[in-house]
C-alpha cells in the first residue's frame, strides 16, 4: 500500500500553484492522494496569513489533525505556506503535534524530511527555491499556473506578503517559455502567469537575460497551442503602455486586467505606500480603455485602513462608480503582525468598517451588473471547464473576459467554442452554444 497524503489549501492562486507542486512532489515520492484526512498518513496544510480571518480558518481545521494524530501517532502533520513562514519555529511551541513546518521558499525540503531516517520535528524557512521547479499535479487538465517570479519588493504598509515570500526573484525567460511549451504539449490551453507583482518581472535578472514583462508575454504568446494567457497581479505603479498594448496585439492575451486599486483616496494610498495616486490610477484605466475598449477590469479594494475618513471612503466609492469594474474583491482592513499599518494610531472601529464595506459592495455589484449587460446578444469564445455547478445538465466555462458562462450545448472540457449570450448577472453569463442556437433557428 502506498502512503497517502491529504492537502488543504488556503489563500491565493500562488498557494494553489504551490499545492499542485507539493502534490506532484509527493506523487514522485510514491505517495497517493487520500480522499479524506482520516485516510491520510500525511496531513498537510498550505496556509495563508493575508487577513486575520485566514489565520482563524486554518487554526479551526488544525483541531481535526490533532485528534487524528492522537489516534495514530505515526501520522505526519505538516504546515506550509505564508502563515507558517510568519510564525516560523513558534509553530511547534503552539501546536506540538505538528511534525514539519516550511515556508513558501523551502517546499522542496518537505521531500528531504519525509525521506530522512528519523522524523524529529523540523522547520524550513529560508528563501531559496522556486516551487515552480517541482513536478506538478494539475487540478485542471486544460489550465496551468506558471510561477514567473516569487517574492515582493514593495512595502505596502498593510501587507504581510513581503515578509512571508521574501525579496522578488524572477525565473529566466527561457525556462518559462520551455515550461509553457511543456504545458501546451500536455493539453493545457490556458496559462496564468503568477507573481506578487508580475509587471516588475525581470528587473533582477542578469542584463544579458533580462526582458520586460511585455516581452515575456510576447514570447509566451508565440508558443504553439497556448490559446489563452492570463496573469495576476500587476501593480498599477508598473503598468506601462507596452503591457496594455500587448492586450490589443497578442492573440492569446485575454481581455481582462486585474488592477488592484486598494483605495480611491490619494492620501490613503500614500499611507498605504502604494506609490501611485488616484489620478495616476485613473490614467492607467483610461489608457487601458483607449487601447482595449472591451477589456474587463477587476480590482482589490480595502476599506477601513487606519485613518480612513468618510471623505476618503467616498473617494473610493467615486472611483468604483467611475471605473465600473467587472468585479471586485473587497476586504475589511485587518492589522497584520509586523506591518507598519498595524502600529498606526486611529484604527477605524469595526462597525464603521462593516458599514463602509456594505456601501462599497452595493456600488461594485450594481456596476458589475450594468457592465455585464454589454455581453448580452454577443457571441463569446468560451473555454469549456465541465458541467455547470448549479445545473449539471448544462455546461460551464469561461469567456476571455474571465466571466463564468453557463450554457446549453455539447462540448468536451478543454474545447474552445462560441456561445451566444442570452442573459447576464453581476457574476455569471448564460447562453447557448452557437451551433445549437443556429440549429434551433
Binding site for ligand SF4 (CB under 6 A): 152, 154, 156, 159, 161-162, 196-197, 235
The region of 99-107, 245-253, 315-323, 329-337 touching ligand SAH under the rule CB under 6 A is 329-337
Measured from the CB of residue 160, what is the shortest distance to ligand SF4 in angstroms?
Answer: 8
**Count of residues in contact with ligand F3S, rule CB under 6 A:** 13
Residue 334: name its binding partner from ligand F3S, ligand SAH, ligand SF4, none (Cβ under 5 to 8 Å by kind).
ligand SAH
**Count of residues in contact with ligand SAH, rule CB under 6 A:** 16
Q: Give the integer Cα–Cα distance in Å for 386 and 32.
A: 25
Q: Would you say 165 or 371 has its CB closer to ligand F3S? A: 165
Measured from the CB of residue 310, what is the shortest distance to ligand F3S in angstroms?
Answer: 29
* All cell numbers assigned to 343: 502600529
* All cell numbers assigned to 58: 486554518
DSSP string, 120-149: --EEE------GGGS----SSTTEEEEE-E
- Strand order of the β-sheet with 190-194 is 143-147, 190-194, 228-232
Q: Would you say 87 or 161 has its CB closer to ligand SAH? A: 161
Which residue shows C-alpha cell 448549479? 390
Q: Would you say 164 or 316 has its CB closer to ligand F3S? A: 164
Q: Give the integer Cα–Cα distance in Å for 134 and 105.
A: 12
Residue 300: name its binding partner from ligand SF4, ligand SAH, ligand F3S, none (Cβ under 5 to 8 Å by kind).
ligand SAH
CB distance 151 to 167 below 8 Å: yes
Q: Which of 25, 26, 40, 50 binds ligand F3S (CB under 6 A)?
A: 50
- 76 sits near ligand F3S (criterion: CB under 6 A): no
- 158 sits near ligand SAH (criterion: CB under 6 A): yes
Residue 82: name its binding partner from ligand F3S, ligand SF4, ligand SAH, none (Cβ under 5 to 8 Å by kind).
ligand F3S
Alpha-carbon distance values, 297 to 324, 351, 374 (Å): 8, 29, 14
Task: Please list, in sequence order, all residues whose beta carbon lies within 8 angstroms of the beta carbon of residue 321, skipping any fewer than 6 positions away.
Answer: 363, 367
Q: Which of 26, 65, 79, 82 binds ligand F3S (CB under 6 A)?
A: 82
Each residue 101-140 as x (binds ligand SAH by CB under 6 A) or -, in order, gives ----------------------------------------
Q: Which of 192, 199, 334, 402 binds ligand SAH (CB under 6 A)?
A: 334
Measured from the CB of residue 385, what is the shortest distance to ligand SAH in angstroms?
Answer: 24
- 197 sits near ligand F3S (criterion: CB under 6 A): no
- 302 sits near ligand SAH (criterion: CB under 6 A): yes
Residue 80: name its binding partner from ligand SAH, ligand F3S, ligand SF4, none (Cβ under 5 to 8 Å by kind).
none
* All cell numbers assigned to 10: 488556503
Q: Give the integer Cα–Cα distance in Å for 277 and 275.
A: 7
Q: Which of 15, 49, 196, 406 binds ligand SAH (CB under 6 A)?
A: 196
Alpha-carbon distance values, 366 to 278, 425, 426, 427 (Å): 22, 10, 7, 11
Q: Give the integer Cα–Cα distance in Å for 33 and 5.
A: 5
CA 132 from chain centre, in angstroms, equals 15
Residue 79: name its binding partner from ligand F3S, ligand SF4, ligand SAH, none (Cβ under 5 to 8 Å by kind).
none
DSSP string, 290-306: HH-TT-EEEEEEEE--T
- 14 sits near ligand F3S (criterion: CB under 6 A): yes
Task: Please list, in sequence order, all residues whose beta carbon lies within 8 angstroms of the beta carbon of residue 385, skipping any fewer than 6 positions away.
Answer: 140, 142, 396, 397, 398, 413
Asked whether the CA dihedral 302, 304, 308, 311 is positive or negative, the reply is: positive
Q: Is the previous residue joined to 233 through a cis bond, with omega within 30 degrees of 0?
A: yes
DSSP string, 161-196: HHHHH-S-EEPPHHHHHHHHHHHHHTT--EEEEE-T
* Positions 149 through 178 that interact with ligand F3S (CB under 6 A): 160-161, 164-165
Residue 51: name its binding partner from ligand SF4, ligand F3S, ligand SAH, none (Cβ under 5 to 8 Å by kind).
ligand SAH
* All cell numbers assigned to 259: 488592477
Query: Which class for 407: exposed (0-12), middle (13-18), buried (19 or more C-beta within 10 A)?
Result: buried
* Positions 27 through 86 that interact with ligand SAH (CB under 6 A): 50-51
Q: Which of 48, 292, 382, 405 binds ligand F3S (CB under 6 A)?
A: 48
The region of 247-255, 332-340, 368-376, 394-402 touching ligand SAH under the rule CB under 6 A is 332-340
Residue 200: name its binding partner from ligand SF4, ligand SAH, ligand F3S, none (Cβ under 5 to 8 Å by kind).
none
Q: Give the integer Cα–Cα distance in Å for 18 and 25.
A: 10
Residues that bind ligand SAH (CB under 6 A): 50-51, 158-159, 161, 196, 233, 235, 260, 262, 300, 302, 331, 333-334, 336
Binding-site ranges for ligand F3S (CB under 6 A): 11-12, 14-15, 48-50, 81-82, 160-161, 164-165
Amino acid at each position: 500500500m502506498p502512503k497517502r497524503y491529504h492537502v488543504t489549501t488556503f489563500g491565493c492562486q500562488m498557494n494553489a500553484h504551490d499545492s499542485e507542486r507539493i502534490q506532484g512532489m509527493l506523487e514522485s515520492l510514491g505517495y497517493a492522494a487520500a480522499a479524506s484526512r482520516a485516510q491520510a498518513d500525511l496531513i498537510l496544510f498550505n496556509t495563508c496569513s493575508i487577513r486575520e480571518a485566514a489565520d482563524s480558518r486554518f487554526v479551526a481545521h488544525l483541531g481535526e489533525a490533532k485528534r487524528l494524530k492522537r489516534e495514530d501517532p505515526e501520522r505526519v502533520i505538516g504546515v506550509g505556506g505564508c502563515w507558517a513562514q510568519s510564525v516560523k519555529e513558534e509553530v511547534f511551541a503552539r501546536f506540538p503535534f505538528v511534525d514539519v513546518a516550511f515556508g513558501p521558499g523551502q517546499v522542496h525540503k518537505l521531500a528531504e524530511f519525509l525521506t530522512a531516517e528519523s522524523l524529529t520535528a523540523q522547520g524550513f524557512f529560508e528563501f531559496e527555491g522556486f516551487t515552480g521547479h517541482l513536478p506538478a499535479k494539475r487540478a485542471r487538465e486544460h489550465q496551468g499556473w506558471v510561477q514567473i517570479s516569487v517574492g515582493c519588493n514593495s512595502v505596502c504598509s498593510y501587507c504581510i506578503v513581503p515578509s512571508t515570500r521574501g525579496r522578488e526573484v524572477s525565473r529566466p525567460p527561457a525556462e518559462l517559455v520551455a515550461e509553457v511549451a511543456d504545458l501546451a504539449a500536455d493539453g493545457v490551453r490556458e496559462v496564468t502567469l503568477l507573481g506578487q507583482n508580475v509587471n516588475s518581472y525581470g528587473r533582477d535578472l542578469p542584463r544579458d537575460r533580462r526582458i520586460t514583462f511585455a516581452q515575456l508575454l510576447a514570447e509566451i504568446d508565440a508558443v504553439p497551442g497556448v490559446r489563452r494567457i492570463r496573469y495576476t497581479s500587476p501593480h498599477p505603479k508598473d503598468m506601462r503602455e507596452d503591457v496594455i498594448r500587448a492586450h490589443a496585439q497578442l492573440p492569446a492575451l485575454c481581455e481582462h486586467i486585474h488592477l488592484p486599486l486598494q483605495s480611491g483616496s490619494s492620501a490613503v494610498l500614500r499611507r498605504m505606500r502604494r506609490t501611485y495616486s488616484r489620478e495616476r490610477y485613473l490614467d492607467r484605466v483610461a489608457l487601458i480603455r483607449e487601447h482595449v475598449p472591451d477589456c474587463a477590469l477587476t480590482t482589490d479594494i480595502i476599506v477601513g485602513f487606519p485613518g480612513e475618513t468618510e471623505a476618503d471612503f467616498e473617494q473610493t466609492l467615486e472611483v468604483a462608480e467611475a471605473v465600473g469594474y467587472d468585479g471586485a474583491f473587497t476586504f475589511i482592513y485587518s492589522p497584520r503582525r509586523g506591518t507598519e499599518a498595524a502600529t498606526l494610531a486611529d484604527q477605524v472601529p469595526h462597525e464603521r468598517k462593516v458599514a463602509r464595506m456594505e456601501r462599497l459592495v452595493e456600488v461594485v455589484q450594481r456596476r458589475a451588473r450594468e457592465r455585464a449587460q454589454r455581453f448580452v446578444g454577443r457571441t463569446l469564445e468560451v473555454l469549456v471547464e465541465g458541467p455547470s455547478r448549479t445545473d449539471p445538465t448544462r455546461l460551464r466555462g469561461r469567456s476571455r473576459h474571465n466571466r463564468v458562462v453557463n450554457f446549453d450545448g455539447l462540448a468536451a472540457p478543454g474545447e474552445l467554442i462560441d456561445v451566444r449570450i442570452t442573459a447576464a448577472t453581476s457574476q455569471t453569463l448564460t447562453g447557448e452554444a452557437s451551433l445549437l442556437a443556429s440549429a434551433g433557428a
